[in-house]
Amino acid sequence: MNSQNLRVRFAPSPTGFLHIGGARTCLFNWLYAKHRSGKFILRIEDTDLERSKKEYLEEILESIKWLGMDWDEVHFQSKRFGLYREYADRLIKEGKAEQKDGAVFFKYQMQRIEIDDLNRGKIIFNELPKNEEVIIKSDGSPTYNFSCVIDDALMDINCVIRGEDHISNTPKQILMYQALGFSIPKYAHVPLILSPSGGRLSKRFGATSIREYKEQGYLSKALANYLLLLGWSPKDNREIISLQEAKDIFDIKDVNKTGAVFSLDKLEWINGEYIRSMSLDEFTDLAGSYLGEKSFLPENLEREEIKKIVGLFQVRTSKLADLITSMKPYFDQEVIYSPDTQDVLEKPLVKELQFLIEGLKIIQDFTKENIEQGFRKACEDLGLKLKNLVHPVRVALTGTKHGAGLFETMEVLGKDKVIKRLNKIIQYWRMIQDHGKI
């Protein structure tokens, strides 16, 4: 095989969304083609007319593009039924297949089949469980193994990279290549992605489709990066690597042979790394459009306003969906105290906060520097340690015990909201003082 005309393909079936495992197989195909200046062909295996759906097809194509890949050709098996029939008839004529019950059966003899796998070396089958295989179903549509062979041969695919769940299909397919006189492609079977509980990544495991990750606010580059690292490594301890960089050094033979367990923790970390590496403007645009799509942002919110709030959380965000929780207190009219703030709510600091409010009121320019100065002064006058006032105030302003720096938070919130929310907690404290604990 001349590396100049390497032709690989990814062959999804539009009977579901593009999932994590398929995306990774696609990535490996694409990377290998790019690395060897070959062609990457997309073949839509829509022979199951019942289950194939247009929305899935669109979703798959969109996901592939979203992840940063492109293709040189795209073919649809549903438009090639005549071709499959033609080759089936040829096999019948040559006595290698026979028509039975409306279907066409390919007949074969048991024999030793050797696969020279680019990834795992020789795989030898000494026997096969059957001696015939349906190639054309009684409804006239081809079976997977047959259309796959015909198409790979006719499309000049000379290297088949697919999941290892296809290893056992390979000997049957090789027999068909031989019967039809086609030249057999190289094969590379890559391992499957496993769920944390061991088995194959299934519906039981949270999100499996690429679109779900997109919706959760994972960045396409981060997801591609993570998927790439699942079974492949640049060997120099790099964890953050782009498709462009990988293209130069990727080889299918370097892909691991072991199934890899999918780790959401690591994906989140990588995603966080990408988020943290963005400029605030880039992040604002990204977060803005994400939150806009989710209809989370209030109408007519200025970009500068989004930028301020988002700036508070960039370093604390591992996926965009996190922003919905962290930004909520900034838009809500009323602060909702989260359950774990109970200890703070039980210790009234009415006089102290009233004193603080007076100090804040006289700040002309409500910037974090001025706020900090006034805040520290108030603590000093009250004889309180900074943190003893910071925590209750944070709860009063955001309803949570954790979050961005308090003074920045106050600046973003603005003087009016800050004072209003401080008064609200004072009111709450007075109420429990008057009526005892609720």
Partner RNA sequence: GACCCCAUCGUCUAGCCUGGUUCAGGACAUCGCCCUUUCACGGCGACGGCGCCGGUUCAAAUCCGGCUGGGGUCGCCA
Residue 139 or 434: which CB sits closer to RNA? 139
> Of residues 255-314, which lie at the interface with RNA (CB under 7 A)?
256-261, 263, 265-266, 268-269, 272-273, 276
Residue 34 or 394: which CB sits closer to RNA? 394
Distances (CA, A) of 279 to 243, 286, 310, 311: 21, 11, 12, 10
| Interface residue with RNA, options 168, 325, 342, 354 (CB under 7 A) | 168
- Measured distance CA(13)–CA(45) in Å, rounded: 5
Residue 254 or 293: which CB sits closer to RNA? 254
Q: Which of 133, 125, 84 is nearest to 108 (CA)?
A: 133
Residue 301 or 357: which CB sits closer to RNA? 357
- Measured distance CA(430)–CA(350) in Å, rounded: 7
Q: Which residues pair with 209 in a beta bridge?
A: 19
User: Cα dihedral angle (274, 276, 281, 283), rounded to 10 degrees?
Assistant: 60
CB of 435 to RNA, least distance (A): 30
- Measured distance CA(212)–CA(201) in Å, rounded: 15
Residue 82 or 181: which CB sits closer to RNA? 82
> Of residues 317-356, which lie at the interface with RNA (CB under 7 A)?
none
Q: From residue 100 to residue 139, what is the string marking binding to RNA with x (rule CB under 7 A)?
A: xxxx----------------xx-xxxxx-xx---x--xxx
CB of 268 to RNA, least distance (A): 7
Place of tokens 């006034």: 374
Q: Which stretch binds RNA (CB under 7 A): 91-99, 281-289, 404-412, 422-430?
A: 404-412
Say how many residues make up the chain.
Answer: 438
8-state DSSP, 38: -
CB of 434 to RNA, least distance (A): 30
Distances (CA, A) of 372 to 116, 219, 316, 386, 399: 69, 35, 22, 10, 20
**CB-based contact 67:27 (threshold 8 Å):** yes
CB of 358 to RNA, least distance (A): 21
8-state DSSP, 183: P
Q: Which of 68, 95, 344, 59 is nearest to 210 (CA)?
A: 59
Report if residue 405 touches RNA, rule: CB under 7 A.
Answer: yes
**CB-based contact 255:35 (threshold 8 Å):** no
Residue 295 or 393: which CB sits closer to RNA? 393
> Of residues 36-75, which lie at the interface with RNA (CB under 7 A)?
45, 47-48, 51
Report if residue 79 touches RNA, rule: CB under 7 A.
Answer: no
Residue 261 or 301: which CB sits closer to RNA? 261
Tokens of 144: 């997977």
CB of 75 to RNA, least distance (A): 12
- Measured distance CA(30)–CA(216) in Å, rounded: 25
> Of residues 364-383, which lie at the interface with RNA (CB under 7 A)?
372
Residue 298 or 339: which CB sits closer to RNA? 339
> Of residues 196-255, which lie at the interface with RNA (CB under 7 A)?
198-200, 229-233, 235, 237, 239, 254
| Interface residue with RNA, options 328, 391, 415, 424 (CB under 7 A) | 391
